[in-house]
């Protein structure tokens, strides 16, 4: 990837949506919900604090996270879809 997020921004890629329900019914493309799980692809340099130091990230590249359904800004780079969001928009890290 040829893109580097700035400050406290991170770049994530949504994981695949569920193809079928728990009861085994296959979902058409129009019925699938946006997945809220994503993989962290790149992280920025860190948020600059008032004293000039940088705050360390709580997520790292390769982490699986949970984000809001409508969070971040969707972009397309080299034919792949990504989302750029602030670290404060991450709801949780999946262990």
Per-residue pLDDT tens over the stretch 24-35: 676 666 655 677
Cα(35)–Cα(70) distance, integer angstroms:
10
Q: What does pTM read for this prediction?
A: 0.78
Q: What are phi and psi of 43, to 5 degrees?
A: -125, 155
Q: Where does the pLDDT of residue 18 fall: very low under 50, low under 70, confident under 90, or very high at 90 and above?
A: low
Rounded to an integer, what distance in angstroms lies between the CA atom of residue 48 and that of residue 52?
6
The pLDDT value recorded for residue 16 is 78
What confidence score (pLDDT) does residue 1 get?
62
Residue appearing with tokens 């009861």: 23
Average of per-residue pLDDT across 73-84 = 93
* CA dihedral for 20, 23, 24, 25, sign (positive or negative): negative
Q: Is the pLDDT at 8 greater than 90, yes or no?
A: yes
pLDDT of residue 19: 63
Name the pLDDT band for 81 (thresholds 50, 70, 90): very high
CATH number at 9-16+27-94: 2.30.33.40
């Amino acid at each position: 990837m040829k893109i580097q997020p700035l400050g406290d921004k991170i770049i994530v890629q949504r994981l695949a949506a569920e193809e079928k329900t728990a009861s085994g019914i296959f979902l058409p493309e129009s019925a699938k919900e946006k997945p809220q799980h994503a993989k962290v692809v790149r992280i920025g340099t860190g948020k600059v604090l008032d004293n000039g130091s940088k705050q360390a990230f709580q997520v790292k590249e390769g982490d699986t996270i949970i984000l809001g359904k409508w969070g971040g800004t969707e972009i397309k780079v080299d034919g792949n879809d990504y989302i750029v969001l602030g670290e404060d928009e991450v709801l949780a890290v999946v262990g």
